[in-house]
Copies of this chain bind each other. A is one copy, B any other.
Amino acid sequence: MSLEPEDAAAAIEARHAEKMRKKQAAQAKIMADKTREKGLLIVHTGKGKGKTSAALGMVVRAIGHGMKVGVVQFVKGAMQTGEARVFAAFPDNVEFKPMGEGFTWDTQDRARDIAAARRAWDEVQRMIADPAYHMVLADEMNIALRYDYLPLDEVLAVLAAKPAMKHVIVTGRNAPEALIDAADLVTDMTMVKHPFRAGVKAQAGIEF
């Protein structure tokens, strides 16, 4: 049995409309349950690209809503000139602290790395404690935790005690399990394909 073309088209239309009705109902049900607002502890981890970029996207959204955001960079180079210039256009909304000067793969001085991580963490703590900030980004802090440059217990205690409405974003590979357990929102950026593997170098607008 075959349908006339217009009947077939009508059937496709009807199926689509039914599917969308179900989706809409499901979506409405989900959203009806979501009544709570709270400051989120957000973790972006994984080996893929986009951990810092996605945090940066959230910072931009927050800026757009007139919020004040503190950005602390634990590793030099993760955030660079590109975003710094955009932050500079919103001096009342963003305080950007590049603290990773002494902490790169080139240093082989553990004591110096620990001191740099401590200074960065002190900035994060100050911003978490200061009610003026709505959001704090601890960019690449997972790296400092991974190398035990910061005591995990201390970091977890500070995050657990953060003001209820403050958003804190922590990025970097190898997020500790205990941080993932404590977080509200965790995304693992999984590398599917990376242009470095095809010999393409880091480029403005993409990596920095």
* Alpha-carbon distance A64/B60, docked complex (angstroms): 13
Q: Contacts A105-B24, A190-B46 known; A198 to B180 CB distance under 8 Å?
A: no
- Does the CB pair B199–A36 fall under 8 Å? yes
- Does the CB pair B184–A200 fall under 8 Å? yes
- Does the CB pair B82–A60 fall under 8 Å? yes
In the complex, A187 has a CB within 8 A of chain B: yes
Residues on the B chain within 8 Å of A56, using CB: 53, 56-57, 60-61
* Alpha-carbon distance A200/B107, docked complex (angstroms): 42
A39 CB to nearest chain B CB (Å): 9
Residues on the B chain within 8 Å of A29, using CB: 199
Partner of A200 from the list B38, B50, B193 (CB cut-off 8 Å) is: B38
The A interface, classified by DSSP as helix, strand, loop or mixed, is mixed
**Residues A67-99 near B (CB distance < 8 A):** 67, 80-86, 89-90
Residues on the B chain within 8 Å of A38, using CB: 195, 200
A118 CB to nearest chain B CB (Å): 16
A98 CB to nearest chain B CB (Å): 14
In the complex, A185 has a CB within 8 A of chain B: yes
A162 CB to nearest chain B CB (Å): 15
Q: Contacts A50-B44, A194-B185 known; A208 to B61 CB distance under 8 Å?
A: yes
Known: A13-B111, A37-B203, A53-B53. 5 other contacts (CB 8 A): A31-B202, A45-B192, A60-B86, A86-B90, A190-B190
Instruction: Give the B-binding residues of A (Cβ under 8 A).
Output: 12-13, 16-17, 20-21, 23-24, 27, 29-38, 40, 42-46, 48-50, 52-58, 60-65, 67, 80-86, 89-90, 105-111, 134-135, 167, 180, 183-196, 198-206, 208
